[in-house]
Chain A
Amino acid sequence: MNILELKDISMIYGQVRALSNVCLSVGQGEWLAIMGPSGSGKTTMMNIIGCMDKPSSGSVLLDGEELSKLTPSELTAIRRDKIGLIFQQFHLITYLTALENVMVAQYYHSMTDEKEALLALERVGLADRAKHLPSQLSGGEQQRVCIARALINYPRLILADEPTGNLDETNERIVLNILRGLHDAGTTIIVVTHDPEVAFEADRTVYLEHGRVADVVKKIEGTAAACASEAQDLVYAAKA
């Protein structure tokens, strides 16, 4: 069963076609990576999937709901209830502690629960940093707080925009392990990335170019290295 279906999606900003007749389905529990060079339409696609923008044409079905027919308030409710967002730049609220940053998502969702928020931080290995402000955390720790915030309301879909883009190798591994754990637990994950290592973790990688799906690469068990290499080649090809 598909949790997400994009049907003939186009997005036009003035004279610019950011997306052009994109079709894509994402199954429940699938981990999908979206790759492509800058300006290929990745962020536009994330905005549309994340209910933060509406396509110029085409339809988007998320968990069986047609997004183009929903009001802004209903789209907000979808984001709140069904989607967890992870950002490259973390976007933590600077004046709140790590724990409070997680509780913010609870606050807008329903009720705040400090114990549950602390458990979410425990899941990402940051229980002992709960009372620290973002400025007192490393980049990797901030990203893990961001992940804890994304998970706290048990979303059906995790949308991650370059989740390891600002991290060193060690923290990248930690974050990927967390995402892998979520995937193993059945959470659907869509990751926008430039990093073949991240794409390698995905069940499927969609390559965008000039607003179109240029290629789709499926992960084949036991051929991880080949898959990563293929993804890497696509990136190099795009850059060339």
Chain B
Amino acid sequence: MNKRAFFIKMLASSLARRKSRMFSALCAIAIGGTVLLGMMSISYDIPRQMGREFRSYGANMVLVASGDKALLDIEDADRAVALIPPDALVGATPYRYEMVRVNMQGYTVAGTVFEGAKKTRPYWNVTGEWPQKDDDILIGSDIAEFTGLAPGDAIAITGRGTGGARFSRDMTVSGTVRSGGVEDEFIFMSLPVMEGMFGGTGGAEAVEVSIAGTEAELDAIASLIRQNVPEVSASLVRRVTQSEAAVLSKLQALVILVSLIVLVLTMICVATTMMTVVMERRREIGLKKAIGAENRSIAAEFLGEGVLLGGAGGILGAAFGFVFAHAVCVSVFGRGIIIDWRLLPLTVLVSIAVTVSACLWPVRRAVEVEPALVLRGE
């Protein structure tokens, strides 16, 4: 048995000798590791998990025509949307705006694709039905209140089409929209129907895009679009992205705070246990110093025990941590967690670091033990 093997044998025998104390320290470290890895996993996965939840806020990117062009070519918009990772893309909806009159009163009408609007504006509260037929329209709740129109009512929409020619078309109100925003004052119709009325095809003033991702990821996508489709100008809806970023950063700060508190509690528990162990082993420490152990040898033995404990507790904690994080994500978000395997060695290393740090004060007490006490019989 060489010196290193003997050192490890001493550590293992010493730990095995104090099973109950070491078990309580191991449990503390394992719990700390569990919470640490669980919280880190959740923190790491929160943007992905919350990204889908945040999409209820609506679109977070707007595509418009670059330069002086009034309308964005839908084909250019499609090329831009194709650059967005499919798993991140929630929906993309074109909008074209015109002015119409209903009973001599002027309103803004928006032509859109309703299936897309359901995804990019999920916060719309629609009373009645979403438009099914070409003649079906949605009206904003303010218009409904002002005109007394209700779902199922027919209205005549008039305006000026291609070349300034007047048109009038009877439409049916399939439902009313309430969002608390400007939509409450708009009329919504199918984009192809609008193109039939006002002329011009394949164009929109803006395409709203809803993407699951962080503000940085969205910035990267916008930059990618600007580089690859110069006809399209992509910009973020900062109000939405910054709100999301603020919520995420607060959640992550909470996670870090909880992790830190648990790590400090773990450290206190381990330090208390190790201090008790040092007090119990004063005579053994005195003996070792009496027969020639240097202070650094005594310190190395206790810190070595700390490394073994921290490593074992860290591995246990990492295993339980994944289970914990998965359970939390399933219960909160309804989806399993994506495991980042790099967190496993990180958890073990942090557990070792916490345990070794917790051992520093007890180790200091250990090296202060006087060898003479073994002769005094204390």
Interface residues of A (CB under 8 A from B): 43, 46-47, 50, 52-53, 73, 76-77, 79-81, 85, 87-89, 91, 93-96, 100, 103-105, 107-109, 111-112, 114, 149, 153, 161
Contacts and interface: CB of A to CB of B under 8 A. Distances in A.
B291 interface: yes
A117 to B, nearest CB: 10
Nearest to B296: A73
Interface of B: 1-3, 6-7, 9-10, 13-14, 16-17, 283-284, 287-295, 297, 370-372, 374-377
A46 B14 contact: no
B375 A107 contact: no
A91 B374 contact: yes
A52 B370 contact: yes
Contacts of A96: 10, 13
Given A95-B13, A96-B13, A108 B293 contact: yes
Nearest to A161: B375
B293 A85 contact: no
Contact of A52 (B1, B9, B288, B371): B371
Contacts of B288: 93, 104, 108
A79 B375 contact: no
Contacts of B372: 47, 50, 52-53
6 contacts: A73-B295, A76-B292, A76-B294, A79-B292, A104-B291, A107-B10
B375 A52 contact: yes
B293 to A, nearest CB: 5
Contact of B1 (A93, A95, A103, A108): A103
Contacts of B2: 111-112
Given A47-B372, A89-B377, A104-B291, 11 more contacts: A52-B371, A73-B294, A80-B292, A81-B292, A88-B377, A91-B287, A91-B374, A93-B287, A104-B288, A107-B10, A108-B291
A148 B314 CA distance: 40
A112 B374 contact: no
Which of A91, A103, A114, A161: most chain B CB closer than 10 A?
A: A91
A79 to B, nearest CB: 5
5 residue pairs, one from A and one from B, having the closest CB atoms = A80-B292, A95-B17, A52-B372, A95-B13, A108-B292
Contact of B375 (A43, A73, A76): A43
A109 B1 contact: no
Contacts, number: 82
Contacts of B293: 76, 108
Given A95-B16, A149-B291, A107 B374 contact: no
A88 B295 CA distance: 25
Contacts of A91: 283, 287, 374
A79 B290 contact: yes
A114 B370 contact: no
A79 B7 CA distance: 21
Contacts of A93: 284, 287-288
Contacts of A43: 375-376
A216 to B, nearest CB: 23
Nearest to B284: A93
B277 to A, nearest CB: 12
Contacts of A89: 377
Contact of B297 (A53, A105, A108): A108
Contacts of A100: 6, 9-10, 13
A109 B292 CA distance: 7
Given A87-B374, A91-B374, A103-B1, A50 B16 contact: no
Contacts of A112: 1-3, 6
A79 B370 contact: no
A183 to B, nearest CB: 21
Contacts of B374: 87, 91
A79 B16 contact: no
A88 B7 CA distance: 27
A95 B12 CA distance: 10
B3 A107 contact: yes
Given A46-B375, A95-B14, A105 B1 contact: no
Contacts of A47: 372, 375-376
A93 B376 CA distance: 17
A200 to B, nearest CB: 23
Nearest to B372: A52
Nearest to A91: B287
A43 to B, nearest CB: 6
B22 to A, nearest CB: 12
A85 B290 contact: yes
Given A87-B374, A91-B283, A93-B284, A105 B292 contact: yes
Which of B1, B292, B297: most chain A CB closer than 10 A?
A: B292
A131 to B, nearest CB: 13
Nearest to B293: A108
A50 B286 CA distance: 13
Contacts of B287: 87, 91, 93
A15 B146 CA distance: 103
Contacts of B376: 43, 47
A58 to B, nearest CB: 18
A60 B51 CA distance: 77
A51 B17 CA distance: 31
A28 to B, nearest CB: 21
Nearest to A73: B294
Nearest to A96: B13
